[in-house]
Structure 1
Amino acid sequence: MTLLSKKHIDYVVNLNSEMSKQSYEHWLSEHLRMNGLYWGIMTLVTLKSLDSLPRQSIIDFVLSCVDKRSGGFGAYPQHDGHILSTLSAVQILSILGALDELDKESVIKFTKNLQLPNGSFQGDSFGETDTRFVYTALSILSILEGLEEELVNKSLDYLKQCENFDGAYGMRPGAESHGAQVFTVIASFAICNRLDLVNDKLSSWLSERQVKNGGLNGRPEKLPDVCYSWWILSPLAILKKLKWIDLSKLEQFILDCQDDEGGVSDRKGNQTDVYHTCFSLTGLSIINDELYEGNKYDMDSIDPVYCMPYSATKTFKPWPYKS
């Protein structure tokens, strides 16, 4: 099977159509709207078709989601600010070259205020903590040049406590190792220029996530899911261990999960969604860069640390900042 690029582009564009906005599903998913917009934009970026959506309309929507009380972004206008929505907003504006329209200091303050004394981060004022939120905070602050030494050190200390006997990481200290959490920790280490903290066992754990049909799972004995084409593959890319799995078999697994009408599902034959479409294609981009010098799939190159195009991340200042 070949990559159905045009079908996937149309799939994302149709999700943003006026007709879909009148649907029950549209309003049911309001709490994911900012994240969903980012997933759709990253799909289009990866397929070199960002201009398929109206740039200014996207910017206007993102800015309409500012929570003026907290300084962060909600998932939808009038929603409370949350760190996940805030990262998606910052990523979108960065990709569109519109960070100058952002109140950076308010976003930096919002993000820093979510760090707890133990180094973890809350998602919002309601108090849930997760290694996802540490990565999210560090990513926001890295993009906006708001990292500080004390905050970085406390974050790293907390993340090290989330390491398990297998070298992988859970969502908090003592929690089960999970592929998505591994990404958040390894990408956090990369942002902070501390990949020396990675346990040598981790690459083996990551490589063991590949199953017989070529797909990757997030935990031992689980079914493969196409989204782990990003969550497992990107840490391997960061650690320069892509050859530890069979990339050709994973490539075929991803292509098999495509729907003939556009979009990608978690496994072959299931319902498509923009989340799995995004993270399967960004994973395929990593494979494309690794296996094919001629850019077989005509995809943009995606930074495995930020899940953004290198054209955007190349402008980010590395930590520690130099005066």
Structure 2
Amino acid sequence: MSLAAGPGRGGGGASAAQLPDELQLVVDKHVAYIQSLDTRRDELEYHLTEHLRISGIYWGLTALHLLGQPEALPREGLLDFVFSCLHENGGFGAAPGHDPHMLYTCSSVQILAMTDGFAELEKNLPDGKMKIAKYIASLQQPNGTFAGDQWGETDSRFLFCGLLALSLLGMLPNQRPNEPPIIDLTAATDHIKACQNFDGAFGVAPGAESHSGQVYTCVGALTLAGELDSYLGEEGKDRLGAWLSERQLPSGGLNGRPEKLVDVCYSWWVMTSMAMIDRVHWIDQKKLTSFILQCQDPDQGGLADRPGDMVDVFHTCFGIAGLSLLRYPGLVEVDPAYCMSKPLVDKFLGRK
């Protein structure tokens, strides 16, 4: 697949031919690392991370799609596990026996989209798409935001995940203009706009500190709602882009907010927001590419938060997604709003 730089995306990423051998992406090792994760059930870490299991599957599967190996994990096994986390109310838990939650419902819908699993969903839960959509809608609050679960904690992440899952289900109001809206999209976007700060960035709630992760959820929500360009405009994009570009430190890595350490996952949280506002070229892409590749385990595969640390599937996913945003040679293009393969999302949503 051609990964030439597109409009506004810049072409400053280092090509593989220009990088020394130790800074090549070890694709086969990363694929093998992800495949090995479910074989480590005798390790304590496996059981301590049960509360992240469904998201872990999403992270691993997304990385495999971007690496061009979408079938490296068995589809039937993936679907069996996802459906074991499904509740009658349409929500998904993190693992079998866990309560349903917005984060894991979103991850499950993304997995179903990546595995073409919605036909099987209907067999496991009749009218499953609508039940999932109604579960998500039930978590919207009077002020437009969304709770994560029945206990009521709110966060811009939950709002974004709700919109993303509804989009993949084809249930957003702007996807069904002739149907009664299942959520109040205007109230949701009004809440997101209220989360923007004087520096141009966004926080977890109105008045909260700006943070790169929350910038992604807010910019992503506005993108899904079709309001990003009309709300920010070029001046707003410049102000936000300036704040995001200041997240790059001398190592080439990015941090989440001022005075914090670099972390490879911000290669996604920062860069995807830069992509959605067409400001990727404001980052030194060659230095960032080098930083991400230094976070690899070249022998066992996987990426860590920083060079020399232990690898995990979370940082593996978002490091590879960051490289895809940088148009690293050989990687499948990632969709900046959905954090999934862009060709797959385009096909799934019927986009040309």
Q: Is contact 2:25–2:293 with CA below 8 Å preserved after alignment?
A: yes
Other-structure match for 2:215: 182
Superposed structure 1 runs of 4+ greater than 6 Å apart? none
1:223 and 2:248 aligned: no
Other-structure match for 2:342: 310
Alpha-carbon shift at residue 133 of structure 1 (Å): 0.6
Instruction: Give 2:134's match in structure 1, choosing from 109, 114, 117.
Output: 109
**3-state SS in 2 of match to 1:14:** helix
- Judged with a 3 Å threshold, the aligned counterparts in structure 2 of structure 1 residues 255 and 155 are, in CA distance, closer, same or farther, namely same
Instruction: Give 1:274's match in structure 2, choosing from 310, 313, 334.
Output: 313
Q: Which amino acid aligns with 2:321?
A: T
1:9 and 2:48 aligned: no
**3-state SS in 2 of match to 1:50:** coil
Q: Which amino acid aligns with 2:135?
A: F
Q: Which amino acid aligns with 1:235?
A: S
Q: Is contact 1:132–1:184 with CA below 8 Å preserved after alignment?
A: yes
Q: Which amino acid aligns with 1:123?
A: G
Q: Is contact 1:87–1:140 with CA below 8 Å preserved after alignment?
A: yes
Other-structure match for 2:6: none
| Bigger RCO (CA 8 Å, 6+ sep) | 2
Instruction: Tell me how far apart the structure 2 counterparts of residues 145 and 32 of structure 1 sit (CA, whole Å).
Output: 26
Matches within 5 A, 1:1-323: 1-17=23-39, 20-68=40-88, 70-102=89-121, 103-148=128-173, 151-195=184-228, 196-198=230-232, 199-200=236-237, 201-260=239-298, 261-288=300-327, 296=329, 298-317=330-349
Q: Is contact 1:67–1:79 with CA below 8 Å preserved after alignment?
A: no
Q: Which amino acid aligns with 1:228?
A: Y
Unaligned runs of 5+ in 2: 1-22, 122-127, 174-180
**3-state SS in 2 of match to 1:262:** coil
Instruction: Tell me how far apart the structure 1 counterparts of residues 147 and 261 of structure 2 sit (CA, whole Å).
Output: 30
Instruction: Tell me how far apart the structure 2 counterparts of residues 98 and 302 of structure 1 sit (CA, whole Å).
Output: 20
Alpha-carbon shift at residue 318 of structure 1 (Å): 8.7
Alpha-carbon shift at residue 317 of structure 1 (Å): 4.6
Instruction: Tell me how far apart the structure 2 counterparts of residues 52 and 3 of structure 1 sit (CA, whole Å).
Output: 18
Instruction: Tell me how far apart the structure 2 counterparts of residues 272 and 24 of structure 1 sit (CA, whole Å).
Output: 16
How big is each residue's C-alpha offset from its partner over 1:201-229, in whole Å with a ceiling of 9 and x where there is no partner?
Answer: 10110111111111011001111100001
Instruction: Tell me how far apart the structure 1 counterparts of residues 350 and 150 of structure 2 sit (CA, whole Å).
Output: 29
**3-state SS in 2 of match to 1:300:** coil
Instruction: Tell me how far apart the structure 2 counterparts of residues 307 and 317 of structure 1 sit (CA, whole Å).
Output: 14
TM-score, reference length from structure 2: 0.85
Unaligned runs of 5+ in 1: 290-295
How big is each residue's C-alpha offset from its partner over 1:210-262, in whole Å with a ceiling of 9 and x where there is no partner?
Answer: 11111011001111100001000001111111111111110000001111221
Instruction: Tell me how far apart the structure 2 counterparts of residues 249 and 59 of structure 1 sit (CA, whole Å).
Output: 39
Other-structure match for 1:292: none
TM-score, reference length from structure 1: 0.93
Alpha-carbon shift at residue 104 of structure 1 (Å): 0.3
Alpha-carbon shift at residue 315 of structure 1 (Å): 3.6
Instruction: Tell me how far apart the structure 1 counterparts of residues 262 and 118 of structure 2 sit (CA, whole Å).
Output: 37
Q: Is contact 1:121–1:133 with CA below 8 Å preserved after alignment?
A: yes
Q: Is contact 2:113–2:348 with CA below 8 Å preserved after alignment?
A: no
Instruction: Tell me how far apart the structure 1 counterparts of residues 152 and 160 of structure 2 sit (CA, whole Å).
Output: 16
**3-state SS in 2 of match to 1:21:** coil
Other-structure match for 1:293: none
Pairs aligned (count): 309
Q: Is contact 1:191–1:318 with CA below 8 Å preserved after alignment?
A: no
Instruction: Tell me how far apart the structure 2 counterparts of residues 276 and 59 of structure 1 sit (CA, whole Å).
Output: 24
Worse overlay, 43-52 or 157-166: 43-52
Alpha-carbon shift at residue 23 of structure 1 (Å): 2.4
